[in-house]
Structure 1
Amino acid sequence: MVGLIIVFCLGVLNFAAHKAVLESGHPMLAQVPWFFQPLGGRLSLIVEFAMLLGAMVMAAAGSSGWAWVYALYTVLNGFSAWLIYSGRV
């Protein structure tokens, strides 16, 4: 149960970072593949949701490994969002 709550909280952080990048107006966003461009790039939020849902299902089933993988993904996602949002990339 604790793993599920942690994965959910990490998912909230991932969605916040993703939204910040989408709203940053960074020139790199113009280079995303064509299948992510509909709805202003927000179609990629569906992929983010699918990853969160999968991690939550696995955490609810008792797999702590998937929670650790999602935590690592969150760290990498947060770092890349910081690089993009701060203009370092």
Structure 2
Amino acid sequence: MLLGVLFVLGIVNFAVHKAVLESDHPLLDTLPRPFTANGGRLSLAVEFLVLLASMMLSAHGWPAAAWGYALYSALNAITGWLLLDDRV
């Protein structure tokens, strides 16, 4: 069950991440070029590694990793909303 919740949170994180990358927000210009080049493939790979680490740790008896990823997801959602709604 826990891995299913993490998987769904991962899908949401990827969707928000991709939407922010495609928004061409001026704040993206402050990021290092490799993170935004090629459609943000490097930053999406880092996003995948964070999800994978969280799922692996949670599957091996570290439920705190799931709580950490849930907090990370909430912060991503808030940041994505702020950037996509032009509040920043």
Same fold (TM over 0.5): yes
Percent of aligned pairs sharing the same letter = 51
Aligned to 1:62: 61
Q: 2:21·2:36 contact (CA, 8 Å) conserved in 1? A: no
Unaligned runs of 5+ in 1: none
Aligned to 2:30: 31
Measure, in 1, the Cα distance between the counterparts of 2:39 and 2:71.
Answer: 27
Question: How many residues in Structure 1 have an aligned counterpart in Structure 2?
Answer: 88
Aligned to 1:77: 76
CA-CA distance at 1:34 after TM superposition: 3.1
TM-score between both structures, scaled by the size of structure 2: 0.93
Aligned to 2:52: 53
RMSD: 1.1
Unaligned runs of 5+ in 2: none
Q: 2:36·2:42 contact (CA, 8 Å) conserved in 1? A: yes
Q: Which has the higher contact order (CA 8 A, sep 6+)?
A: 1
